[in-house]
């Protein structure tokens, strides 16, 4: 049996900030590239005149669905690799560099249909790399926190991600994308302004990811490195963990399954919301960034309110009512048209996103059997990616079946409704139990 390595000293405030800055940095991919800028450019401009009967939005759904399936297959192996002492920062660096490299490649995608497939391949690859980077990033959280501060530190990272997205989206909109080339007056022909914005976002990611990659106090490697875990062994260990947890706390397993489904619906809202704003509701591609800022602010405010309600009515009630609110707004969006209606009900929908995200994690903490926190949050990360292909695939399928981009909304609503129905039978834990 290998002796564990001695842990490094406690993290300083500066190291905690360096860790949280990675969330700020990664907004360059999640908010700019995947949600509000490159995906909109790829579907609304590059793929606008794509030959064939399958629309660009449908292909985007299939591409992100394939990326989600890849993440689901790799996450258990990557997660165990990220837990290896002395390797956490190294793996985070690998996935960060790969994501930035893919973003830099997107800057070469011209506004011509022949470039659509390269753009889609780069976007799907970036989604895989960024999500696997998130696995390694989350594995660092216990190293920069204590049982008494893990919630605050995690919340700091979450807030930094929202704030980073708002600042970067505003800067790109004002400087490059508003009107005819923004304040800088950059050329807009051949998608140059958008491509330059993605290049700036890649530089943003690289600059703000450096602090954690250079200063993070990773644990030293063990004196004798344990044998490598193969893919088959990693999946066997995952199934063993689930069986043991089901035997001891079956409703916790039920919650993991339900949250995996509705969290996939949340991801789809941000992945396709901006695309639908342009293709269905007639919002100008540049103005989508303004909506992105409003959506991030609304989600952040919703999360803050949910934090207080969580302690009063319990996290399950917060999640149930927030999912119901999202479904009501989504069904309304399915029926209305025009930019004004999208602004009203799209912003209202994002208000409910924050509470679901915030209370999902606290609900799991309340369900968690004592001493099983590390295992349980590892399963939470893995199960969340196990169905990450579901919403994008349904968006693509509904868009193709009905020959309408609007129909893709129904695919997202179906996933959210399934998650809500799966959550309802889950038994709540003892009232207001907290995990410390």
- What is the rounded average pLDDT of the residues 178-200? 91
Architecture of domain 13-221+229-423: Up-down Bundle (1.20)
- CA–CA distance, 301 with 83 (Å, rounded to integer): 33
Say if residue 332's pLDDT is above 90: yes
pLDDT of residue 150: 63
Whether the model pTM is above 0.85: no
Contacts (Cβ under 8 Å, ≥6 apart) of 145: 11, 16, 152, 153, 154
Q: Determine the pLDDT at residue 433.
A: 44
pLDDT in tens, 362-405: 787 677 666 565 566 667 767 776 777 788 889 889 988 888 88
| Whole-angstrom distance, CA of residue 330 vs CA of residue 324 | 10
The 10s digit of each residue's pLDDT in 281-320 is: 988 877 888 888 888 888 877 877 776 677 777 788 889 9
Residue spans per domain, the chain? 13-221+229-423
Q: Scanning the structure block, which residue is given the tokens 């959280």?
A: 141
CA 254/CA 316 separation, integer angstroms: 13
Which residues, including other chains, have CB under 8 Å from residue 111's CB and lie 6 or more apart?
41, 45, 46, 190, 191
Chain centroid to Cα 419, Å, comes to 17
pLDDT tens by residue, 50-84: 887 788 888 998 998 888 888 877 776 666 655 55
């Amino acid at each position: 049996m290998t002796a564990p390595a001695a842990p490094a000293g406690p993290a300083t405030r500066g190291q905690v900030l360096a860790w949280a800055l990675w969330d700020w940095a990664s907004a360059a991919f999640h908010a700019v590239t995947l949600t509000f800028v490159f995906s909109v450019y790829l579907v609304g401009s590059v793929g606008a005149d794509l030959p064939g009967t399958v629309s660009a939005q449908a292909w985007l759904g299939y591409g992100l669905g394939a990326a989600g399936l890849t993440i689901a297959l790799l996450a258990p192996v990557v997660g165990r690799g990220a837990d290896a002492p002395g390797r956490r920062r190294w793996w985070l660096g690998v996935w960060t560099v790969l994501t930035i490299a893919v973003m830099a490649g997107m800057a070469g995608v011209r506004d011509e249909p022949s470039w659509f497939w390269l753009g889609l391949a780069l976007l799907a690859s970036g989604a895989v790399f960024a999500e696997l980077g998130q696995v390694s990033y989350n594995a660092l959280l216990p190293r920069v926190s204590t049982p008494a501060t893990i919630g605050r530190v995690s919340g700091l990272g979450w807030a930094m991600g929202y704030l980073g997205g708002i600042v970067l989206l505003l800067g790109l909109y004002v400087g490059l994308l508003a009107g005819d080339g923004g304040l800088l007056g950059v050329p807009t022909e051949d998608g140059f302004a958008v491509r330059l914005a993605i290049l700036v976002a890649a530089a943003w990611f690289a600059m703000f990811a450096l602090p954690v990659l250079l200063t993070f106090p990773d644990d030293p490697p063990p004196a004798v490195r344990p044998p490598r875990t193969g893919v088959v062994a990693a999946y066997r260990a995952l199934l063993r963990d689930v069986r043991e947890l089901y035997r001891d706390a079956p409703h916790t397993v039920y919650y993991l399954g339900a949250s995996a489904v509705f969290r996939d619906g949340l991801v789809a809202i941000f992945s396709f919301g901006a695309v639908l704003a342009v293709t269905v509701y007639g919002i100008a591609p540049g103005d989508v960034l303004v909506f992105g800022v409003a959506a991030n602010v609304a989600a952040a405010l919703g999360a803050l309110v949910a934090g207080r309600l969580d302690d009063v009515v319990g996290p399950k009630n917060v999640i149930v009512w927030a999912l119901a609110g999202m479904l009501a707004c989504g069904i309304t969006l399915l029926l209305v048209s025009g930019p004004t209606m999208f602004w009203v009900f799209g912003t209202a929908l994002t208000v409910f996103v924050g509470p679901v995200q915030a209370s999902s994690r606290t609900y799991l903490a309340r369900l968690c059997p004592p001493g099983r926190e590390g295992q349980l949050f590892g399963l939470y990360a893995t199960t969340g990616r196990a169905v990450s292909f579901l919403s994008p695939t349904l968006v693509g399928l509904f868009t193709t079946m009905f020959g309408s981009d609007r129909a893709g909304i129904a695919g997202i609503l179906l996933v959210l409704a399934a998650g809500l129905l799966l959550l309802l039978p889950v038994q709540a834990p003892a009232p207001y139990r907290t995990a410390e």
